[in-house]
Amino acid sequence: MDTQPSTRTPDGGEPAVRLDTITKRFGDVVANDRVDLTLERGTIHALLGENGSGKTTLMSVLYGLYDHDEGTVSVNGERTDFDSPRDAMDAGIGMIHQHFQLIPPMTVLQNIVLGHEPTERGLVNDAAARDDIIDICDRYGFDVDEYLDTPVGQLDLGAQQRVEIVKSLYRGADILILDEPTAVLTPQEVDSLLAVMDDLRADGRSLIFITHKLDEALEISDEITVLRDGESVGTVEATGATEQELARMMVGREVLFDRLDREGEPGEPVLRADQLRIDSDRGREQVRGVDLTVRAGEIFGVAGVQGNGQTELVEALTGLRPVTSGEVHLHDEEITELRRRKRIEAGVAYIPEDRQREGLVEDYSLVRNAVLGNQTLDPFASRGVLNWGTVADHAADIITEYDVQPPNASTTAHSLSGGNQQKFIVGREIGHDPDVMVAAHPTRGVDIGSIEFIHNRLIELREEGMAILVVSSKLDEIQKLSDRVAVMYEGEFVAVVDPESVTDEQLGLLMAGAAREVDDYRDATLAAGSDSSQPDTSAAEETTAAATDENPTAGGRS
Amino acid sequence: MRTTTLLSPKRLRLVGLAAVILVALGAFVSIVLDVQVERLITRGFVTRSLEMATPIALAAIGGLYAEKSGVFNIGLEGFMIFGAFTAAATMFMLGGTSPTQGQLWLAMGVATLISIILTLGFAVLLIRYKADQIVAGLAIWFIALGFAPFTAATIWGSRSSPGLTSINNLAFGQSPMVFFTVIVVAAAWVFLYRTRYGYWIQAAGENPKALDTAGVDVNRVRYATVIFSGAMAGLAGAVLLAHAGNWVGTGDTMVDGRGWIAIVAYLFGNYNPIGAAAAALLFGALDMLNVQFQTVGIEASARLVNLLPYVAVIIVLTVWGKTRMPSKVGEAYETEE
Amino acid sequence: MSTDDRGRLRTLLDRAADWLLDATVLERLAIAVASTLLAIAIGLVIVAAAGFDPIRFASQLLIGAIGSERAILRTLRNSVLFVLAGVAVAVAFRAGVFNIGVQGQFIVGGFATVVSIIWLAAFVPTGAVGGMILLVFGTLVGIVAGGLYGALPGVLKAYGDANEIITTIMLNFIAIGFVGWLVAGPFSDPDATATRTRRLPANVELPQLVFSDPNLSIVGLAVTLVTVVAVAALLTRTSFGYDMVTSGYQAAAATYSGVDAKRMIVLTMTLSGMIAGLTGAVFVIMIQGYFTDPSGIGNYGFDAIAVSLLAANNPIGVLPAGMLFGGLDSAGSHIQINSDVPVQLIDGIVGLVVLFVSAPELFRMTAKRTGLGGDSE
């Protein structure tokens, strides 16, 4: 990969795309708040941001999938208002979705021409299509023409992605939107994708590159716009920008969280994992040899940009996903092979990442949801029979104690806001007095009031002696809550650090995979383990980047 | 497409399976029961097998188009019943108990037309009103089982019709509908795999969103295939009647499960029109074999032999599992606004 | 304790009220009623179009279903089968598994009951005690056979990824064909003219007690009611039922809550098949007394799908829905004898009911357009 300093093609003409103060709301949630973005012709513009920061929403507005509430969209200097992707396509915009829009059993050629088939006497003109595709492939050095007659489903993901790109080019796209294209690729495939993007730019096409990987954004793009909580934090030239700067812009600080006071020292190890290796659904290894120990009365934070194996790790710890190797221990007992239900009964509570899909049954009342996961536990059930009276009392207790609105146990979970749903889940999971709490993104899409509430509750539980594992991609949350922080990158814990002394820069770098630069630091902290008096980082920044825009619940329910 | 799909391992295995069944059957019959094969496989047997296979193949082609596009038309059996009955009734209205060949042909046309009208309503329920495809399809069967014999009884005073007329054979003592079906099968294959509309049908069943983002109206594609499936099933029923020469409305009517067999046929043929037609032929032959068994004097296992296709479908479905059905069958599609 | 009890009673009453006032329950009830009325209305139009008197037909429908003691008993007798088979379907649908194979499981269960009773009859004494033993044994065998025949597609779905809709339809054909072959061949009654098995021994008979209809026993009704209540209790009051229903509502949440999805599919299909097998046992013991060619046995297992859907897959709701179908069936028998209107019309009306029930959206949209039914979001 040659990383010659990117040179923006000087072009007196209009920019390829200009988004001006775009605002998009879903109900009360503001997914995009007055976002500006200008894509110059013949350049690559990276759109950087955490999950839920509004990147995909913004691009869906551009691509005609969503109507926006305010602002204007201009393509090639002309005001436009696309009603459908078809309109966007006609205007020369192509989008490569994160989930490929391909038809697995159909051949590569058929997929590429779908909807735009050249025909001759009623039949699809295979030869003409073939020629056109080969032309495109020759021009950009794609290998797609080598397997035009193979069913797409038989290709690996990298090749499928190239098919998607060729499909857009075949449809005449001049402006390409790539939605997290590297998320599913191997490092080698990433390199070749970036090379392709470089070629496309050299040919005069304009690209928007959605990503949350700093190095990739810096490597390939000309300009970088960072989104956070639906707002544009700013746009910088890639030349001269650093990973530290971008990391800080990206994770930022939503509100000024003070680290919560805490008492007591951690006790015995409760949850322990040794050399865990875990595959994703697609069979790719997502966790590569993770060791961890969570002690009683301790909050162990796992920081990291999403998609680095946290989801798989959490699912394996809670019994929802098998491990390929390694062991999980609860107290002194090995639970690696224990089924999910047995783990619940053994005292592993879990606040799931996707609360609407997993954590609640949307059509159930709160009463019925109050026993989800606990349906075999005493006192809610005895000898297989549910005691609805106790469950109803339990639901009422959760509602009172956690201030769930509306305070009516017979409303369906569906009708609650995200924050109230989450408070209800937290209350439920604590309710059966577990030994371990695994909390995955416990405050994602939750309003500020509920965030404070949930945080305080977790700290209280810590003080009561519970062992708590918190996974979050919000740095401030991790720092506020944790006694120790592990940073996860590409399936490994690249460092375990002390949250009080580590700086945002250091964390940002670790999360971006730049572990080498802080190697010394990591070694020091790893050796010290959970000891929280670290001498060498006393210059901890306490209140960095207090850029606090009050911005509730971006990317919540839509 | 090209040779890769024509000779894919999966297809070879399927064809192999079918061949093995036939050979095993032949071996079973000739060795265990000590029967001369030449007495079973006569020219009449071949002719009659083709004739039996025709309605099954036609309905199967229709059904596979609908399912390819993502709509499981489980009502094939019902539409076949309607088709057969409408053809009989039309023939009787036109020519009483001795209709001419022209009237017979006209009746088949009318039966197809009526099926199209009925399927239009069915398609609206399925696509616009997102009816449960399984339940609605079963309902069509029940409705047909009720209303066809009912109307027959009001016309003829009995659930079955008097003798009408059957279709005149063409060359080689073969029904013209056999030749017609061969053409339909070939055309269906070309249309599905060689035209843009065929691509759209496949895409609508596998990944409707991809088709939508390519600018094609998914539901329009599905309407077309569902209505086509009804038309084909109706025609299949009419052909069945044209071969038989009279309508039987007792029990499960003269259609007697052939619509279900048609579904099995296209599953067995892996959603390929030619495969489906081959499977239909296999079933037609099995059907005829029973008749032959009786004429030759073997009584026993005829009914069991008929079960082989069902067993085979279960095995095939289990072994090849989810790769076979179009992935979005049964799901209503809504465009994002 | 008494205050606690009162509190609990209060909670129960509140919940009952909530349930009744719940928009979805009301809506489902409305859809069921509308489907039935619409189907009957269309049926009457067809009657009129065919040149018969629709008013007379409607009154005969009513008379045939509930117009006399005989009619009522006949309705109850049919209802027993529709309700039991409907519960079998409801259990599976509730858990998100589409068991279309209740008909096959019903046949296998019924046939197994007959065969096992005839086999065991040789070893037990005649008379009431022996009859009891045979009854219980036969019923259990029927339940087990139905359960196994239901478990098979469950296993194929869970571990082989085979679509249960298609496998159960196939297994229906296999049951009809195979049992038909057994009935005509190895197990046929050499003395009978019709194709059927030997009769059950005379001592295998449910007590008559209350009813004059020889084919309706109070025991049959009791078994039905007990099954309905037991399944309803299982679904609403037990951990296992909670697992099942949650799997049907939201599979990911069920997995989160500790349900093993594959195991649940197999268990659901087994339970559904067991109830279907029970239906078969009740059918042969209470009504038929032997087993005939299953292709002509009646589509109880298929109609049960309609019954279950009409009841929104609620086992308690299956009771009225099953009785509606029992009534229609019974009216059919009456009309066959006492009217010129061909009885197949009833089957057509049943089909229409099923069709309308399959498309609740039809009524929702219509209600919205006409401004009826308030604002459903």
pLDDT the model gives residue A254: 45
Bridge partners of residue A398, in order along the sequence: none
Tokens linked to B101: 């060949």
- Number of structural domains chain C divides into: 1
Tokens linked to C360: 């609740």
pLDDT (tens digit, 9 = 90+) per residue, A14-42? 889 999 999 988 776 678 889 999 999 99
* Three-class DSSP labels, chain B: CHHHHHCCHHHHHHHHHHHHHHHHHHHHHHHHCCCCHHHHCCHHHHHHHHHHHHHHHHHHHHHHHHHHCCCCCCCHHHHHHHHHHHHHHHHHHHHCCCCCHHHHHHHHHHHHHHHHHHHHHHHHHHHHCCCCHHHHHHHHHHHHHHHHHHHHHHHHCCCCCCCCCCCCCCHHHCCHHHHHHHHHHHHHHHHHHHCHHHHHHHHHHHCHHHHHHCCCCHHHHHHHHHHHHHHHHHHHHHHHHHHHCCCCCCCCCCCCCHHHHHHHHHHHCCCCHHHHHHHHHHHHHHHHHHHHHHHHCCCCCHHHHCCHHHHHHHHHHHHHHHHCCCCCCCCCCCCCC
Q: Which residues of chain B make contact with C336, given a CB cutoff of 8 A?
A: none
Q: Residue A483 — left, alpha, or beta (φ > 0 → left; ψ -120 to 50 → alpha)? A: alpha
Q: Does domain A15-92+174-256 have CATH number 3.40.50.300?
A: yes
CATH H superfamily, domain A269-528: P-loop containing nucleotide triphosphate hydrolases (3.40.50.300)
- Flag whether C14 is in a domain: no
- pLDDT digit of tens for each residue in chain C (377 aa)? 455 555 666 666 665 555 555 556 778 888 888 888 999 999 999 989 988 889 998 998 899 888 888 899 989 999 999 999 999 999 999 999 989 999 999 999 999 999 999 999 888 888 788 888 999 999 999 999 999 999 999 999 998 888 888 889 889 989 998 999 899 888 888 887 778 888 888 777 777 666 677 777 888 899 999 999 999 999 999 999 999 999 998 889 999 999 999 999 999 999 999 999 999 999 999 888 889 888 878 789 988 988 998 888 999 999 999 999 999 989 988 888 888 888 888 889 989 988 998 888 888 888 777 765 444 33
Contact assignment for C258 to A388 by CB distance below 8 Å: no
Domain of C341? 23-370
Beta A285-295 vs A70-75: how paired, if at all?
unpaired
Contact assignment for C256 to A359 by CB distance below 8 Å: yes
Tokens linked to A52: 């839920």
What three-state secondary structure class fits A48? strand
- Flag whether C16 is in a domain: no
Bridge partners of residue A437, in order along the sequence: A349, A468
Beta strand segments in A257-324, E: 269-279, 285-295, 298-303
Write down the residue that tokens 């609805």 correspond to.
A388
> Nearest 5°: CA angle at A365, between A361 and A367?
105
Measure in Å the smallest separation between the Cα of A172 and chain B Cα atoms.
12
C8, C238, C258: residue with CB nearest A341: C258
What does the domain layout of chain B look like in residue ranges?
A: 51-280+311-323
Contact assignment for B199 to A110 by CB distance below 8 Å: yes
B205-223 average pLDDT score: 90
Q: What are phi and psi of A206, to 5 degrees?
A: -115, 135
Listed residue (B229, B247, B226) closest to B238, CA to CA: B247
Q: Which residue of C has its CA nearest to A367?
A: C15
- Flag whether C65 is in a domain: yes
Question: Chains contacting A with at least 3 CB pairs below 8 Å?
Answer: B, C
pLDDT the model gives residue A156: 79
- pLDDT digit of tens for each residue in chain A (558 aa)? 333 433 444 445 788 999 999 998 877 667 888 999 999 999 999 998 876 678 888 988 898 888 888 899 999 888 888 888 888 888 899 999 877 889 988 999 999 999 889 988 889 998 999 999 999 888 888 888 888 999 998 887 788 888 999 999 998 889 999 988 887 676 677 888 899 899 999 989 999 999 877 788 888 999 999 988 788 888 999 888 887 778 777 766 544 456 666 777 788 899 999 999 999 877 788 899 999 999 999 999 998 877 788 889 999 999 999 999 999 999 988 998 889 999 999 999 999 988 888 999 988 999 999 999 988 888 898 888 999 999 999 999 999 988 887 788 888 888 887 778 888 999 999 887 889 999 998 887 676 677 778 888 898 889 888 999 999 877 778 888 899 999 988 888 988 888 888 877 777 778 777 654 444 444 444 443 433 333 333 333 333 333 333 333 333 333
Measure in Å the smallest separation between the Cα of C332 and chain B Cα atoms.
11
- Helices B308-320, C128-160: inter-axial angle, 10-degree rounding: 50
* CATH number listed for the domain at residues B51-280+311-323: 1.10.3470
Q: For an interface test with C, give the residue of A314, A341, A362, A366 to mutate (most C CBs within 10 A).
A: A341
pLDDT the model gives residue C18: 56
For chain B, say whether C306 makes contact (Cβ under 8 Å).
Answer: yes
Tokens linked to B128: 């616009």
pLDDT the model gives residue A524: 41
Question: Chains contacting B with at least 3 CB pairs below 8 Å?
Answer: A, C
Tokens linked to B263: 């579904």
Tokens linked to A130: 């073939």
Q: Which residues of chain B make contact with A87, given a CB cutoff of 8 A?
A: none
- Flag whether C81 is in a domain: yes
Sequence-distant (6+) residues with CB within 8 A of C62 are: C331
Listed residue (A530, A528, A508) closest to A518, CA to CA: A508
Chain mean pLDDT for chain A: 82
C residues 196-235 closer than 8 Å to B (CB): none
Measure in Å the smallest separation between the Cα of A97 and chain B Cα atoms.
10
pLDDT (tens digit, 9 = 90+) per residue, B155-184? 998 888 888 888 887 767 788 899 999 999
Q: Which residues of chain C make contact with A374, given a CB cutoff of 8 A?
A: 257
pLDDT (tens digit, 9 = 90+) per residue, A43-73? 999 998 876 678 888 988 898 888 888 899 9
Asked if residue C86 lies in contact with residue C307, where contact means CB atoms within 8 angstroms, the answer is yes
For chain B, say whether C366 makes contact (Cβ under 8 Å).
Answer: no
pLDDT the model gives residue B336: 47
Supply the CATH number for residue C105's domain: 1.10.3470
For chain A, say whether B229 makes contact (Cβ under 8 Å).
Answer: no
For residues B34-67, one letter each, b for 16 or more C-beta atoms within 10 angstroms of the residue's C-beta and e for the rest, the string is: ebeeeebbeeebebbbbbbbbbbbbbbbbbbbbb
Q: Which helix (H) or strand (E) holds A192?
A: helix A187-202
> Nearest 5°: CA angle at A25, between A24 and A26?
130
pLDDT (tens digit, 9 = 90+) per residue, A365-417? 999 999 999 888 888 988 889 999 999 999 999 999 888 877 888 888 888 87
What does the domain layout of chain A look like in residue ranges?
A: 15-92+174-256, 100-172, 269-528
Q: Which residues of chain C make contact with A376, given a CB cutoff of 8 A?
A: 239, 258
Compute CA distances C41 → A402, B183, C31, C280, C304, whole Å.
53, 43, 15, 33, 22
Asked if residue C109 lies in contact with residue C279, where contact means CB atoms within 8 angstroms, the answer is yes
Write down the residue that tokens 């509502």 correspond to.
C249
Asked if residue A453 lies in contact with residue A403, where contact means CB atoms within 8 angstroms, the answer is yes
B residues 113-152 closer than 8 Å to C (CB): 125, 129-132, 134-136, 138-152
- Flag whether C13 is in a domain: no
Greatest Cα pair distance in chain B: 69
Bridge partners of residue A78, in order along the sequence: A75
